[in-house]
Chain A
Amino acid sequence: MATKTGIPAAAPAKAASLSNEEVLRYSRHLIMPEVGMEGQLKLKQAKVLCIGAGGLGAPLGLYLAAAGVGRIGLVDFDAVDFTNLQRQVLFGTSDVGQPKISAAADRLRNLNPEIQIDTFETHLTSENALDILKDYDIVVDGTDNFPTRYLVNDACVLLGKPNVYGSIFRFEGQITIFGYPDGPCYRCLYPEPPPPGLVPSCAEGGVLGVLPGIVGTIQACETLKLIIGKGQPLIGRLLLFDALAMKFRELKLRKNPECPVCGEHRTITKLIDYAEFCGVRGEEAPSTVTNIPEITPRDLKTRLDRGDDLFILDVREPHEYQICNLNGHLIPLGELSRRVHELDSSREIVAHCRSGKRSAEAVDFLRKAGFRKIWNLKGGILAWSDDVDPKVPKY
């Protein structure tokens, strides 16, 4: 039986009702006609699976639990770390090091002991996804990587479950609802993921802490609307949010008749290998940088201490230099080709970045440009902090 919004809904609860405590707890819902007793009972009977207990999952979980969604599943395999606390408001400082899933479940149970929290401390995979998803009415995608996005999409299409989608990048977000029978799916929008070489590097990473808060809250809002069957759901509409401009825009999404998973001639009828689907589009990725001469942080320290004439080249971004630096000469990787004249190929050069990846590209580029006395600092400034100077902060 389907509800008004078409959710593959639970059988109507037998004698579902609210206790006096629940009536009090949900009174601000009950006294508004758009929710009311009917809506609140739908919430109580609803089963929502949140994939990812991170930046998006945090506000999502909190608002679904607070609203009285009767059963909330959480899927995550990570542990809380210090860099999460800037945006993942489910967690406190004392949770650092703990599995996210248990810290999240504790927090949500404390917020609302009336509801059931199911925990899945695992990676979502092609092997377990259908089994985990099948018991829920609605799936909310709060993951952070392309393979899981495509996996969640395909699993939702195969099972006929709505997929409340949100994703973020720096200060920009995208939100929509996929997986309705007549509506588009993620593959209708994006048939394929970017090849690995074209995904933004860490030089362009980072995220404004409040952004997943806003996007995850919109996902929560859409989920609650689907459950109570009120309002206009974000189906067939892609909401774009730019936090810096503080602008929302809306684009039309269409079901793609050629879609391989939900179109007329389906070629994907079961879950596939998503790591391969997203990773091995190698022909377009830049050639992997190999055989780069390296120097360890300890060896670099030894050479600097004995007064060797080494030129330190920092290929990070200026805002990273401000966090910490090794007194190097700063040329961001993206500017290297036009600023190569600033370097003296007769001197010994050690290039570094944060982790050693961007500087490996820099060394590769400079070797091709004729530089011979050049090394990459292995492990970057992170390894320098670990092995040489812990006063240098890690970020």
Chain B
Amino acid sequence: MAVKVIIPTPLRAYAGKQESVEVQAGTVGEALSGLTSKFGDLKKHLYTEEGKLRSFVNVYVNDEDIRYLQKDQTQVREGDTISIVPSIAGGVPAN
């Protein structure tokens, strides 16, 4: 299934500066591992060393948070959009 993964601004630097990436996947977990195998630098920004999705990164299938679906096992269908939404604080780093 071809799904689109939307990369948020703070993570685009680790995803070839792309706004979105199309991957083939049947579940959210497959989509994200497809993404991180394409862009290795993304992995540490999305997952902890134990392989858990980081708690300041949320993942949505269309407009639903996967924490309230089947998490990584959430099924995706052709044409679905996966959004990665990290927390941003605003402001300009001071250094």
Contacts and interface: CB of A to CB of B under 8 A. Distances in A.
B13 interface: yes
Nearest to A184: B65
Given A146-B87, A167-B88, A204-B13, A190 B95 contact: no
Nearest to A237: B63
Interface residues of A, number: 50
Interface range for B: 20 to 34
A193 B87 contact: yes
Interface of A: 54-56, 83, 142-146, 149, 166-172, 174, 189-194, 198-202, 204-207, 212, 238, 240, 242, 245, 249-254, 256, 284, 334, 354-355, 357
7 contacts: A168-B88, A193-B89, A198-B54, A249-B83, A250-B63, A254-B68, A354-B95
B65 A251 contact: yes
Contacts of B9: 169-172, 242
A192 B55 contact: yes
Contacts, number: 103
Interface of B: 8-10, 13, 19, 44-45, 48-49, 54-56, 58, 60, 63-65, 67-68, 83, 85-93, 95
A357 B68 contact: no
Given A245-B19, A254-B65, A189 B90 contact: no
Nearest to B10: A200
Contact of B90 (A169, A171, A204, A284): A169
Contacts of B19: 245
Contact of A190 (B48, B56, B93): B56
Given A204-B13, A355-B95, A251 B89 contact: no
